[in-house]
Amino acid sequence: MMSRLVSLTSWLGQLLLLLNLPLVLAGMVHVPWHVAILLAFAPTLMALVQLGHSRTRE
């Protein structure tokens, strides 16, 4: 359930970034790039956290 929520919010954030790309290229909006990178890798990070958690429960 949690991984689906993270995946959905990641896709939503990437879509919003894509829609604001013309403003970013025009220099009218500043995007903190560490947040954009985190959005891109959030589903992978969540999967790794879930795998690590399941290994500690064994």
pLDDT tops 70 at residue 58: no
Instruction: Name the band, by pLDDT with cuts 50, 70 and 90, for residue 13.
Output: confident
The CB density around residue 7, as the number of other CB atoms within 10 Å, is 14
Orientation angle between helical segments 2-19 and 33-57, nearest 10 degrees: 170
Q: Which residue has the higher pLDDT, 17 or 56?
A: 17
Q: Is-contact 22 52, C-beta < 8 A?
A: no
pLDDT score of 22: 92
Domain locations along the chain: 2-57
pLDDT digits (tens, 9 = 90+) for 14-47: 898 888 889 989 998 888 888 888 888 888 899 8
pLDDT score of 35: 85
